[in-house]
Amino acid sequence: MDKCWAKSLGDCSDKMSGEHLVTAGIFTTDKVMVQGFSWCLDSPKEIGLNSLVRNVLCKDHNSQLSPLDDAVIGLFQALKDCMRLSDVRNALPLRRWTRTNFDVDGRKLERWCLKTLITLSIGGPMPLGPKSKNPSTPHEDLVALCYNRLQFTSPAGLYVSYAAGENVTLEDRVMISPINRDDNYLVGARFSLGGFHLILYIDNIPLKPGPITFNRKDGTSERRPPPLYRTKALNFQVGPHISHSMRFIWN
């Protein structure tokens, strides 16, 4: 089907399916604050979840990606569990804790970010990645990565931008900010999921080492810690000892 962005895989069904731009299951309300789309670049807007839908995948190809939603739901749940355990143990006398691990499927989360970025970029002002020819059709390699028929290789993939001890406040909020190279093509996007910062990078030019600065349309900027490529774990301390970890599983 010509309108399906995964048509390069073949076997499209004859019906289009509405693709939710943001996975509904990560939120506890039916409205969220969003920013980074073409219609809300400069300031966040409150939008109903049912409004965040695009018909850019056929029914079969859309259903094949539904397991990826579990990964981002799992990320939110792991963050909630980490903060809950921090609150519980901060109220107890200090001790050397038995470390508790909360696991997140890193590969599926990486592919969820790519799926979301492709869906957002369709029909935008710039193509996605150095190989795509126009904004309406992602390159077949990106499609294959999304459907797990190719594997990401460094420097492309998922990064975490997090500083040790940084305070993360979970809320029903998602912000997606595209990252472009010299106004020629998109190289990825920054995903702020409830205050937790991820960067999906799809270019073959290595990221510069050190902190990363995001420039906003309103002229302001934000400086984030150096992005960590496919990080294995984020550790949470309670007192002088590590209490628990959020582990990213990449097998």
**What are the boundaries of each domain within the chain?**
70-91+100-249
Q: Positive or negative CA dihedral for 229, 230, 236, 240?
A: negative
Which pLDDT score, from 0 to 100, does residue 95 have?
93
Which pLDDT score, from 0 to 100, does residue 167 have?
67
Which pLDDT score, from 0 to 100, does residue 145 have?
98
**Distant-in-sequence contacts of 145-154, Cβ < 8 A, 24+ apart:** 145/111, 145/114, 146/6, 146/65, 146/111, 146/114, 146/115, 146/118, 147/6, 147/9, 147/61, 147/64, 147/65, 148/107, 148/111, 149/9, 152/110, 154/229
Q: Please give the average pLDDT of every successive group of 10 residues along the chain, which has 251 residues.
A: 90 88 75 72 74 88 93 91 94 95 97 93 89 92 97 96 71 80 88 86 89 71 86 91 94 88
Which pLDDT score, from 0 to 100, does residue 1 have?
67
**Helices of type H across the chain:** 59-64, 66-90, 106-121, 140-146
Which pLDDT score, from 0 to 100, does residue 203 have?
95
